Amino acid sequence: MKTGLRIFITFLIVLLVDGLTKIWAEQAISSPTPILGQFFRLTLGYNTGVSFGLLTNGGLYPLIITGTIITGLIVWLVMMIRKGEIPAVIHVPIGFILGGAIANFVDRMLDGRVTDFLDFGWGPTRWPTFNLADSFIVVGVLLLLFILSRIKSPEKEQAL
């Protein structure tokens, strides 16, 4: 299977899983629900900004910023796929990153905010509530960095 198709399939899976969990969260969570005591709970929340609440109540700016980043990523990805410069092994992390970014973008387009529901912390010290799209982006970036650190470029091999 071609790399572009593998990226697209991974992207669609992320988009679907994130969308379904956000719909579920909005229908099922009415108050904080402990899963692992108070360390991990499900808490419905909305973010009108970007990561960690930056640009909260920023109007169209978060949509414009994320839309520009997503467009740039897609243009870069298409160019690299056409050149054959995308190793097949990175289809999962690229699909995770693109799927998570577009999932949050679509959510924000619908009502000006992103649905969050994953809540970690201890007592009053809590990480900002997030969603699966955010998780896919972070895991995708970490996987991409790990994989790219393991790929030997011709320049590195010549230096050895």
Q: Which of 18, 107, 119, 134 is catalytic?
A: 134
**Cβ(84)–Cβ(129) under 8 Å?**
no
Q: Would you state the structure tokens that stand for residue 157, as one six-digit string?
A: 């091999």
Question: What dihedral angle (degrees, nearest 10) is formed by the CA atoms of 112, 114, 115, 117?
Answer: -150
Is residue 119 annotated as a catalytic residue, yes or no?
Answer: no
Strand partners, 119: 41
How many alpha carbons fall within 13 Å on the CB side of residue 19?
A: 13
Q: Which of 18, 107, 116, 119 is catalytic?
A: 116
From the CA atom positions of the chain, what is the Rg in Å?
18
- The span from the CA of 78 to the CA of 110, in Å, is 27
Is residue 111 annotated as a catalytic residue, yes or no?
Answer: no
> Which residues are known to be catalytic?
116, 134
